[in-house]
Chains A and B, each alone.
Chain A
Amino acid sequence: MGINFDEVEVGTELPAQSFRVTRATLVRYAGASGDFNPIHWNEKFALEVGLPDVIAHGMFTMAEAARVVTDWIGDPAAVVDYGVRFTRPVPVPNDEDGSVIEVSGKVAALLDDRRVRVDLLATYGGQKVLGMSRAVVQLG
């Protein structure tokens, strides 16, 4: 299990994934994370503060993006550094289909100590929702 440093190079692509998010997903994430900001579950409130709809928690999107890395490496503890910028919200309509976040990633740099930097691309509707989304990963 795991990825060997010698098997990767700059440009190596991680398996891309898509993640569906519905209102029910957001309610569940709110409960599990303790982030009960009403912009994530109360449409009336979200519209009042100028948002297009209820929006997904930025931290939910960050968590999904990380799965592209952790599913690739197996042991999640190999992530030694992970950061994102929240550049655009993901609106989540009140229907069963919800919204889909697409995440891809590739090795952007080979670092010391058999570590690599992975750059992630997370989009909704073809537009980037995370900026500077980077993870430093310890490989074997």
Chain B
Amino acid sequence: MPLDPSFIGRTYPPTEPYEVGREKIREFAEAIGDANPAYSDPEAAKAFGHPDVIAPPTFPFVITYGAAGQVVNDPELGLDYSRVVHGDQKFTYTRPVRAGDRLTVTVSIEAIKSLAGNDVLTVRGEVHDESGEHVVTSVMSLVARAADEEGK
């Protein structure tokens, strides 16, 4: 059943703060094999003008993906997550995520489209720090493959 387009524009309450730790950033950087010292060495990060280590550009997805669970698991929307693939992903940064940040995500449904029988859901996540300043915006599309595509 196609997703209900009346959900376009729906905004979910901001998430509880996610506290970004140095060791979490290090773990993520190691997982992607990235030895950039800005991710692990506070002195190197300071040399670039940052108050503490910063996170790699795709790190915010760890936070926004979790927050998007509100949409994915919204029983009213009724998305069949077993059919979902990640279609595209975009980040727009005001500043990098850094250790010590306490970040909240405000998730909204930006678009719902039907393309070749697949539902395409565009989910926006606005990430703000504790003082309310914008840090990064994540926009991702999730493609729910049509049921009749099974066994193709």
Contacts and interface: CB of A to CB of B under 8 A. Distances in A.
25 contacts: A19-B33, A28-B30, A31-B27, A31-B31, A32-B30, A32-B31, A32-B62, A34-B66, A59-B86, A62-B89, A63-B32, A63-B34, A63-B56, A76-B54, A76-B57, A77-B95, A77-B96, A81-B93, A82-B58, A82-B90, A83-B90, A83-B139, A85-B87, A86-B87, A132-B88
What's the interface size class on A, roughly? 20 to 34
Interface of B: 27-28, 30-34, 36, 38-39, 48-50, 54, 56-58, 61-62, 65-66, 82, 85-93, 95-96, 139, 150-152
A93 interface: no
Given A32-B30, A34-B66, A75-B38, A59 B61 contact: yes
Contacts of A82: 57-58, 90-91, 93
A71 B27 CA distance: 19
Contacts of A58: 86, 89
A84 interface: yes
B28 A77 contact: no
Interface in A73-122: 74-77, 79-86
